[in-house]
Every structure is written in C-alpha cells, then in structure tokens.
Structure 1
Amino acid sequence: MDKNIHYFENPGIENTDKLIELVKARKEELGIKNIVIASASGSSGVKLAEKIEDASIVNVTHHAGFRGGDEIEVETKYGLELEKRGVEIYAGSHALSGVGRGISNKFGGVTPVEVVAETLRMFSQGLKVCVEISIMAADAGLIPTDTEVIAIGGTGKGVDTAVVLSPAHINNFFDLRIHEIIAMPRP
C-alpha cells in the first residue's frame, strides 16, 4: 500500500484549513464515521463541522480550571454553533497528565504517564494530543473502540496533526493503535 503523509513546514494555526481538507478527503476514502478534535475554544471544531457534516464529531476541550477559575474554555459563540451542528463537547482531565502532573508540580520528578506523553511528543505535540483526546473521548463513551476513527490535534492554537487510529480506554492504553498519519508538522 502506498500512502502519502502531508508534512507542514511549521506547527500552528496556519495549517488548520488545509488539515481539515486532508481529513475530509481521507475520511471519505476510508468511510470513517467518527472524528475527535482537540479545540479548547471550539473554533477549530466549528471549522471542522462546517466542512464535514456526515460524521459524528466530538470536540475535546481542557478540563474546567485548566487556565484557572472554574470555567471551561469553549467560547459561548463556538459552543452554541457546535451544539447547533450536533457536535458533542467534552471537557475532562487530560489522559496523559491528569493527577500525575499535579504530583510532579507539587513534589517534582516525573511520572510514567508523563514519559509516555513526552515520547509521543517526539513525533509532534499534535500526535500526543490525538492519542490523548482519543482516550478521553473513548472513556466518556463518545467514540467507539472497535472501529477506526480520525483524531485531530495541534500545537497551541489551531490544528496541525491528524491520524487514523483505533482508540482504547485508559485502562487498556497499550491497545490503542495508530494506523496512519494523515498530516503533521515536520519536526
């Protein structure tokens, strides 16, 4: 099998529109029905939902309090648009940091989960995010674990990485399989 991977010159928001085009094409080629996207504000989730209407989409944002206070970061205007388009919004603890990061922040050192996250970052921040949000959405029962899905992540703002994977629940983390990379920034 021959497969092309699109590499972006740099990570970041400037890749969002092109990435969504690439995701749409691959989704149609493979007949994938479920997409999970990391979008803290909801902006990238809305862009995706505007371009892809025939998929079940989950927009994953940071947990409440991630930036302080008790609010989630999905902006009201984007949250309303996501809701109107039938996109699920999920806010929850990061699968690849969570309590481990709290322990490291308080006492120093590093946890095994942080080593896994850092290993995935060796490919790209976006790849780590794709794996993480897939676990989070699967644990919430929002995407299936018995079929391939497309996961979309990024570096800071916007999205720049997409993969086809079979998700797994956190308790079966090593059953997760990345089948292909659609696009990512070149490290």
Structure 2
Amino acid sequence: MVASESGKTALKVAKALRGLDVNVVCVTAYAGVRRPLGGEWPQINGEKREKLEEFGVKILDEARWIFGCTFDYAFLKTHTPSKAIHMFLSRTMGYGFKTAVEIALIAADVGAVPTDEEVIAIAGTGRTGGGADCAIIIKPAHVYGGEFIDLEKGAEVKEILALPRLKFTDYMIRKIKESRSYL
C-alpha cells in the first residue's frame, strides 16, 4: 500500500509492480480533510484516477485518518492524545513512518488488506521535499475495538525497509517554527 495525495506516487508504484501478483492500495485524503480547506475531492480524479484503476489500484479516499481528533476517545475510550502520538512517531521515526503505520491501519479497517498477513506500506514527507522515503513491512490490525494494540492480534512493524536519516526537511522545519506548532 502507498500513501499518495495526488496519485503520482501510487502510479509509480503500480508501474513498478506491473506484472507481479500483488495488489496495490492507495490511501489518500478524504473529503473531511480536503473540503474544509477548500480542496477538491476526490483529490485523485480524471486521467490519473482512470490510469490507477487500469492498473488495478484500489483507491481509499473515504476512510478517516487514524491519528486525528476522532482517534482518542472514539477508539480507545480514553483520553490518550493522538496528536502526541503523531508528534512522537513523526519526531522519532519520521513523518513517513507515522504515515506508513497509519495507512496500514486504515486499509485494514476498511478491509482492503488482510490482518493475518504482512504487507508493505510506503509513505514519506511528500511534497515537502522527501517524497516516498519510508517503507515498512507491517502486520496490520483493525483499530476499532482496540485490536491494533492487543498483544496477540495487534499491529506490528516487522521490518523497516527504508527510513530517512533526516526526519524533517528544511521546509518542514521552517513551517513548524513559523506556526509555533510541533506538527
């Protein structure tokens, strides 16, 4: 699976894997993220969407992101701040790592990937300069009901295939400082 807001990265992955017996899943922004910011939704549309569909790519553009305001109480029935999880994973492992874990959970929740097999998740710092710079092998799990944190059935990163040494691009650092926000 691959995180791709424009579909460009998903198309590169689909082309690279053409002819292999693999399923490609693209997780992208949902309407609740795009529309309030004045963005177009679905974000992947037109020729790019048609091309992805020709390659058999499953596009997930209706699933909520995991590490956001809906995560804390709705899923865990506790007040663990998901922004803190987001900040911690992004700062220690990189934004792509956080996103790779997140898209694996999203894809599992909507049934796009199995929860009893390992999958590859690709993500990164995208248009802020790093591109798809992280790839992990993960056994995903469902978020609802807390399965993803269960010791036996939970999500587990099995291997890190690629992880950037530079966790934030100069552009990201400048924007963070300007907003006086951690992420």
Same fold by TM-score greater than 0.5: yes
**Aligned residue runs from structure 1 range 49-68, under 5 A:** 49-53=14-18, 54=20, 55-68=22-35
TM-score (norm. length: structure 1): 0.71
Task: Confirm or deny: 8 A CA contact 1:65 1:71 kept in the other structure.
Answer: no
Please list the CA deviations of residues 102-125 of structure 1 after superposition, one character each: whole Å capped at 9, or x if unmatched: xxxxxxxx9522222222112100
Counterpart mapping for 1:24-173 below 5 A: 36-53=1-18, 54=20, 55-68=22-35, 69=38, 71-91=41-61, 92-99=63-70, 112-121=81-90, 122-157=92-127, 158-171=131-144, 172-173=147-148
Q: Which has the higher contact order (CA 8 A, sep 6+)?
A: 1
* Aligned counterparts of 2:133 and 2:46: Cα–Cα separation in 1: 24
Does structure 1 residue 184 correspond to structure 2 residue 157?
no
Deviation at 1:77?
Answer: 2.0
Alignment partners' CA distance in 2, 1:66 and 1:86: 25
Richer in strand (by share): 1
CA RMSD of aligned residues (A): 1.8
The TM-score, its normalising length taken from structure 2, stands at 0.73
> Percentage identity across aligned positions?
37
Supply the distance in 1 between the matched residues of 2:46 and 2:94 (Cα, whole angstroms). 30
Aligned residues: 144
Deviation per CA, 1:1-27: give whole Å up to 9, x if none.
xxxxxxxxxxxxxxxxxxxxxxxxxxx
Query: 1:23 maps to which residue?
Result: none
The separation in 2 between residues aligned to 1:143 and 1:98, in whole angstroms, is 24
Gapped regions of structure 2 (runs ≥ 5): 73-78, 168-183
